[in-house]
Chains A and B, each alone.
Chain A
Amino acid sequence: MGSFSGDMELLNALKQGDNTAFGQVYRLYFRQLCYFSERITGLRPVSEDIVMETFARLLENHPNFESLSGLRSWLFAGTRNASLDYLRAEKRHRASHNEIKFLSPPAEEEIGLHLVRSEAIRAIYREIENLPYPCRQIVKHSFIDGMSTAEIAEAMGLAYQSIQNQKSRGVRLLKTALIKNDLLSPAILVACLLLLEEKSLLVPFV
């Protein structure tokens, strides 16, 4: 997916201040770090800011990493610390305003679970992202946005044709657990698979 042939090449380029490498690392971890931080702070805009600062530090300090997982640990540790700092500051602030709401920082065990969870969600999300275009969009619309087949057709400007008679062939093709765990409606899947197979089904929706 990226333009670097391996982890080491990416890390070397990053160390030399290569912007493309930095961008790639950003794309790799941004969402997961935000999600992790939001689990701790409870606020999306705050978590986005914290993650932005973490990446800004990466840019300024050029720390040395021996492996990609070392870099990952650095990013997560920085995000974790900044998120906890935020909670502490917020707690002082609230105490000084006589608010009753009590924000105690989460226990280490709980933070660890946030990380496990973020990794699991990331893996599923990436699974969807890796699907080829029309299929991915349909899966996203149906699964993530909760849209109906008709709404998806309208949103994507597609019309579905002769889906029924080709069902069985399609279902065999996509072997992700999203089907196995019944996470998608069969109609969507079939439509999705057919779109993958036959471009002629792409009909402009006028």
Chain B
Amino acid sequence: MNENLFYYGELLAKHLRGELAPAETGELNAWLAASPAHRALYEELLSKDSMAAELRKFDGYDEEGIWEKLRQKLPAEGGSDRVIPTVHRVYFWKKYRWMAAASIVLMLAAGSYFLFLRPDKQPVAVTEPEPVRFQNDIPPGTDKAVLLMSDGRQVMLDGKSADQLLEKDGSAIKAGESILTYDEAYSSGEMVYNTLQVPRKGEFRLSLSDGTQVRLNSASSIHYPTVFKGSERKVIVTGETYFEVAKDASKPFLVEVNGAEIKVLGTHFNVNAYANEAVIRTTLVEGSVTVSNNGQAVTIKPGEQARITENGNLTVAKDINTDKELAWVNGFFHFEKTGIESVMKQVERWYDVQVVYEDKTTQTFNGKIPKKVNVSDIFRILEATGWVHFRIEGSKVTVLK
């Protein structure tokens, strides 16, 4: 390809950075004068919004994922997996990210107390981890889901492209990069049902036709009509979901979960009902909800949590740390006197790994870790307590003492 083209691209960038030498300014001007298309490109790049949009696009390509696929074609070299070029390119920022992680480590401590970093002190120096301490790192989950439409169509929503879909009742569905949106305006005829499934290592958002906002955590699903008709709004969920229900006193909102039912009028709450967790927890942030199961019913207030145990008993816990329950919505893992098994269940869902125990610590963990980091970062932080160590082999994670 023509080298000049790269050169003019470079000139444009230099101009944007304000680093153009006088001779170069002349060259750029000549180029701009040569064609209206050149001028149009120049104008576009000067606009803050379009530059941000283009950078976002540039940032969005799946460099890691494609590399993983290519890596399988690489010739064996010294018989090991060690040749991960990320070590070179990311070296600089990994190092600093580790330091940031170190400040989080300080919050992880024994029993039920926190160690605080004194603001007047420098963060404790942490020796740099050996570059390939974990040879098989695993990137965090991303925005992805599968939409099952009423005619049996399955639409992959991978957080990469926006699309518009049409249901048979005429309702238009907007599939954005991280959210699926339904619009009440266009529907006709009887109710049509869709299901949104989020796999492990995924999360997604849904905006229902009444304006209710739903967040779905990894390994979760929701079944709902494209438009709510009749006297109530009802959805069925599995896994973990967070709701911000649009107020409509004339049409109560019902959430069915594992046979139990949550009735609301307009409120914010989180439902955790994973099949491998012993208790179904409904945590209320705002408003009021009634949870019923097996003929029992309780109404809870903000800051309270309704719990349905394995044997079907319904209890209420007060003074719940809602920040902790909702940490996933805000992009964090939040541990509070959390046992290793519970910690690892969250890791399993978000990184899609299988966890095996060689040893189980009885200590519990406290702290808050961002979710958008590689699994090795999570493990380094947990390892800093000295209670656990981890080994990654493919998608299998072994927990050691």
Contacts and interface: CB of A to CB of B under 8 A. Distances in A.
B59 A140 contact: yes
Contact of A117 (B45, B120, B123): B45
Contacts of A146: 52
A115 B6 contact: yes
A112 interface: yes
B104 interface: yes
Contacts of A69: 3, 6
Contacts of A203: 117, 119
A93 B184 CA distance: 36
Contact of A72 (B6, B13, B18, B96): B6
A203 to B, nearest CB: 6
A136 B5 CA distance: 28
Given A1-B88, A59-B73, A119 B67 contact: no
B122 interface: yes
- Which one of B1, B63, B120, B123 has the greatest number of beta carbons of chain A within 10 Å? B1
Contact of B5 (A43, A112, A180, A181): A112
A146 B62 CA distance: 20
Contacts of B52: 143-144, 146, 183
A20 B62 CA distance: 19
A31 interface: yes
Interface string B293-327: 00000000000000000000000000000000000
Tell me whether chain A's interface is mostly helix, strand or loop, or mixed.
Answer: helix
A8 interface: no
Nearest to A128: B55
B17 A177 contact: yes
Interface string A42-55: 01110110011001
Nearest to A19: B83
Contacts of A165: none
A31 B315 CA distance: 53
Given A69-B3, A76-B1, A182-B48, A3 B58 contact: no
Interface in B19-49: 19, 35, 37-38, 41, 45-46, 48
B56 interface: yes
B160 A44 contact: yes
Given A113-B37, A124-B13, A155-B331, A38 B57 contact: yes
Contacts of A128: 55
B66 interface: yes
B100 A202 contact: yes
Given A73-B1, A118-B9, A177 B16 contact: yes
Contact of B3 (A17, A73, A180): A73
Contact of B17 (A122, A143, A180, A206): A180
A59 B16 contact: no
A22 B89 CA distance: 12
A183 B16 CA distance: 10
The 10 A-B residue pairs with the shortest CB-CB distance, nearest first, are A119-B9, A23-B85, A133-B96, A123-B13, A177-B17, A19-B83, A120-B12, A177-B18, A34-B61, A180-B18
Given A59-B70, A133-B100, 17 more contacts: A1-B92, A19-B74, A27-B88, A35-B57, A35-B58, A43-B161, A110-B37, A113-B38, A118-B9, A121-B54, A122-B9, A124-B55, A144-B55, A176-B17, A181-B18, A181-B46, A206-B368
14 contacts: A27-B88, A52-B66, A116-B9, A119-B5, A119-B10, A120-B45, A124-B17, A125-B58, A133-B99, A154-B330, A157-B368, A177-B18, A183-B51, A200-B122
Interface of A: 1-3, 17-20, 22-24, 26-27, 30-32, 34-35, 38, 43-45, 47-48, 51-52, 55-56, 59, 69, 72-73, 76-77, 80, 109-110, 112-113, 115-125, 127-128, 132-134, 136, 140, 143-146, 154-157, 161, 176-178, 180-183, 199-200, 202-206
